Structure 1
Amino acid sequence: MKNKFRAIACGLMIFSSISAQEVTYTEYNLKNGLHVILHQENKAPVVTVGVMYHVGAKDEDPKRTGFAHFFEHLLFEGTKNIERGKWFDIVAANGGRNNANTTQDRTYYYETFPSNKLELALWMESERMLHPVINQIGVDTQNEVVKEEKRQRIDNSPYGKIIYRTGINKHLFKKHPYGQSVIGSMEHLDAATLDEFIAFNKKYYNPNNATLVIAGDIKIEETMNFVSDYFAPIKNISEKPVKPNILEDPITTEINTKEYDANIRIPAKVLVYRTPKQVERDAYVFDYISTVLSGGKSSRLYKKMVTDKKMALEVFAFSDAQEDYGTYIMAALPLGDVGLEKLQTEMDNAINKLQNELISEREFQKLQNKFENKFVNANSSIEGIANSLARYHVLYKDTDLINKEIEIYRSITREDIQRVAKQYLNKNQRLNLDYLPGTGK
Structure 2
Amino acid sequence: MVSAIDKEFGPIPRGADPSIVASVEPVQEGERRVTVRRPGPVPILSQAYHVPANTHPDTPALWLLGAVLSAGRSSRLYTALVTTGLAQSAGAGSSDTRDPYLFRVSVTSRSETDPPRLEAATIAVLEQLAQDGVTDAELTKVRRQFRAGYVFGSEGVTNQARSLGQHEISDTWRRAETYLAELDQVTAEDVQRVCATYLVERNRTTGWFLPEGDSR
Q: TM-score under structure 2 normalisation?
A: 0.85
Matches within 5 A, 1:111-126: none
Distance 2:210 2:15 in 1: 46
User: Which residue number in structure 2 is paired with residue 267 of structure 1?
Assistant: 43
User: Which residue number in structure 2 is paired with residue 291 of structure 1?
Assistant: 67
Which one of 182, 186, 199 corresponds to residue 408 of structure 1?
182
Distance 2:95 2:181 in 1: 20
Which one of 317, 339, 343 corresponds to residue 92 of structure 2?
317
Deviation per CA, 1:329-371, whole angstroms, max 9, x where unpaired?
A: 1121222321111111111111111111121111111111112
> Which is greater in Rg?
1
Q: Tell me how many residue pairs correspond in the alignment.
A: 200
User: Which residue number in structure 2 is paired with residue 371 of structure 1?
Assistant: 146
Which one of 103, 125, 130 corresponds to residue 328 of structure 1?
103
Deviation per CA, 1:186-240, whole angstroms, max 9, x where unpaired?
A: xxxxxxxxxxxxxxxxxxxxxxxxxxxxxxxxxxxxxxxxxxxxxxxxxxx9876
Q: Do 2:36 and 2:209's aligned partners in 1 also have CA atoms closer than 8 Å?
A: yes
User: Which residue number in structure 2 is paired with residue 249 of structure 1?
Assistant: 26
Distance 1:268 1:238 in 2: 51
User: Which residue number in structure 2 is paired with residue 276 of structure 1?
Assistant: 52
Distance 1:402 1:241 in 2: 30
Q: Do 1:379 and 1:385's aligned partners in 2 also have CA atoms closer than 8 Å?
A: yes
Distance 1:258 1:418 in 2: 30
Q: Do 2:97 and 2:169's aligned partners in 1 also have CA atoms closer than 8 Å?
A: no
Change (3 A) 1:378 1:415: same
Distance 1:390 1:241 in 2: 24
Letter in 2 for 1:250: V
Q: Do 2:98 and 2:169's aligned partners in 1 also have CA atoms closer than 8 Å?
A: no
Change (3 A) 1:393 1:310: closer
Deviation per CA, 1:40-97, whole angstroms, max 9, x where unpaired?
A: xxxxxxxxxxxxxxxxxxxxxxxxxxxxxxxxxxxxxxxxxxxxxxxxxxxxxxxxxx
Q: Do 1:283 and 1:326's aligned partners in 2 also have CA atoms closer than 8 Å?
A: no
User: Which residue number in structure 2 is paired with residue 175 of structure 1?
Assistant: none
Per the TM alignment, residue 260 of structure 1 is displaced from its structure 2 partner at its CA by: 3.9
Q: Do 1:281 and 1:408's aligned partners in 2 also have CA atoms closer than 8 Å?
A: no
Matches within 5 A, 1:37-76: none
Per the TM alignment, residue 389 of structure 1 is displaced from its structure 2 partner at its CA by: 2.3
User: Which residue number in structure 2 is paired with residue 233 of structure 1?
Assistant: none
Distance 1:244 1:415 in 2: 36
Q: Do 2:96 and 2:170's aligned partners in 1 also have CA atoms closer than 8 Å?
A: no
Q: TM-score under structure 1 normalisation?
A: 0.43
Q: Do 2:34 and 2:208's aligned partners in 1 also have CA atoms closer than 8 Å?
A: yes
